[in-house]
Amino acid sequence: MTTTKNNGSERLAQYYTQLQNLVKDKLAVPDLLSFADIGALRDKVKSIEVISKKVYQLPFCEKSSPRFEKFVLSLARAQNESVLIWTELSNEFGPAKLKSLLDVDFDFPFGTLPEGIVVIVNQSGSGKILLDWEVDPDEGQMLTLEVLGDKWTNIEF
């Protein structure tokens, strides 16, 4: 029983470490949303996936560029509300809630998440950003950026 508890504590510590790489305020401990609060949100997000979607392929380092920063600022202005960050460990501990898309640190290192996927959903469930990165044998570290939702897909990268 102690081993399971320690393993859970270690995984939670790992999750917080990952989250610290994904948020701008490195000292703050992000709020974790409970699973009771996310059921309806999942249904809303699934409905936008069939409505509007844009996909971009770009070098991983591009997410640290002024162009990407301007893109994120435009997304935040178009839909200024809280966002949830979802990683693999969010399935165990709940997604992290941030006040704004501008609180996400998109300049995170390539090795931040072993699975190479992070999902950002706005609080209302009407917008979603999927970042999926991997090493391409020909092009190196690449990022697939998917943007979903009417307000966010109106903004060009």
3-state secondary structure of 146: strand
The Cα 9–Cα 70 span in angstroms is 38
The Cα 81–Cα 59 span in angstroms is 28
Q: Give the tens place of pLDDT for each residue, 52-106.
A: 889 999 999 999 999 999 999 999 999 899 999 999 998 888 888 899 999 999 9
The Cα 69–Cα 3 span in angstroms is 43
What's the pLDDT at 124?
A: 84
pTM attached to this predicted model: 0.85
84 φψ region: left (φ > 0), alpha (ψ -120 to 50), beta (else): beta
Q: Which tops the pLDDT comparison, 138 or 39? A: 138
Residue keyed to tokens 């999750």: 15
Residue 9 banded pLDDT, cuts 50, 70, 90: confident
What's the pLDDT at 44?
A: 63
Of the listed ranges 90-94, 113-117, 145-149, the one predicted with least confidence: 90-94
Q: Which of 52, 49, 56 is nearest to 72 (CA)?
A: 56
Q: Report the number of distinct structural domains present in the chain.
A: 1
Please report, for residues 1, 3, 32, 35, 113, the alpha-carbon distance to residue 7 in angstroms, rounded to integers and kept in the order given: 10, 6, 19, 20, 18
Residue 2 banded pLDDT, cuts 50, 70, 90: very low
Q: How many CA atoms does the CB half-sphere of 54 hold within 13 Å? A: 12
Q: Is the pLDDT of residue 117 over 70?
A: yes
C-alpha 28, offset from chain centre? 17
Residues 117 and 129: beta-carbon distance below 8 Å = no
Q: Which domain range does residue 25 map to?
A: 2-153
Q: Give the tens place of pLDDT for each residue, 13-51.
A: 899 889 989 998 865 666 777 666 666 666 666 666 667
Q: Give the tens place of pLDDT for each residue, 119-132.
A: 999 988 888 999 99
